[in-house]
Amino acid sequence: MTKKELEQEKQKQYDELVKQVTPQNSLLLQMCKAFLTGGIICTIGQGILEAAKSMGLDKEMAGTWCSLLLILLSVILTGLSLYQPIANFGGAGALVPITGFANSVCAPAIEFQAEGQVFGVGVKIFTIAGPVILYGIFTSWLLGVIYWCGMMLGVVS
C-alpha cells in the first residue's frame, strides 16, 4: 500500500468511527422540545408578571420582579442540579431565556467553589457569561455609534 492509500484507509476508518459515535438527532423533535421548554419558562414568567400586576405593581416594576424571580428560580434549580437536565431536554428553549443566562453564571461558581472564593468562584464565575457580557456591551456601543451617526446625517430622527 502506498502512503496515500494508507492515509485514505485511515480517513475512511475515522469517518466510520465518527458516524458510529455521533448521536442521531431529529431536528423536528429538538425544536418541539425547545418550544415546549421555552414555552413553560415563559408561561411561568407571565404568571409571575400577572401576579405582580394584580398586587398593584406597575408594568415596569412587575417586569423587574418577574426577571428577578426567574433568575432566582434558575439559580436555585442550578444549585440543586436540576437545571442541567432541563437544559439537556429543552436545548435552546432552556438556554435562551434569562434563566439560561443565570444558569451560565451560577454553574461555574458552584462547580469551582471548592477552590475558594477568589481563585474558584471569583475567577470562574464569568467563564461563560463573561463573553456574553463583553459582546453585549460592545454591540450596544456599536449600535449607539451607528444611531448617533444616523442622527448626525439626518437619516434617523
In this structure, what C-alpha cell is assigned to residue 95? 438556554
pLDDT in tens, 54-102: 999 999 999 999 999 999 999 899 889 899 999 999 998 988 778 888 8
Q: Indicate if the pLDDT at residue 132 is higher than 80.
A: no
pLDDT at 22: 83
pLDDT at 5: 85
Amino acid at position 58, single letter: D
pLDDT at 29: 92
Instruction: Give the CA-trace dihedral at 69, 70, 74, 75, to 10 degrees.
Output: -30
Q: Which residues contact 129 (CB under 8 A, 6 or more apart)?
A: 101, 104, 105
Q: Which segment, 21-25, 53-57, 132-136, is predicted with the most confidence on average?
A: 53-57
pLDDT at 121: 65
Query: Measuring CA to CA, how many Å separate 154 from each of 14, 30, 31, 86, 147?
Result: 59, 45, 43, 48, 10
Residue 97 φ/ψ region, left for φ over 0, alpha for ψ in the -120 to 50 degree band, beta for the rest: beta
Global pTM reads 0.65
Q: Which residues contact 130 (CB under 8 A, 6 or more apart)?
A: none
pLDDT in tens, 37-53: 999 999 999 999 999 99
Comparing 74-88, 100-114, 130-144, the range with the smallest average pLDDT is 100-114
Are 62 and 53 in contact by the 8 Å Cβ rule? The answer is yes
Task: Answer positive or negative: Cα dihedral of 124, 129, 131, 133.
Answer: negative
Q: Indicate if the pLDDT at residue 148 is higher than 90.
A: yes
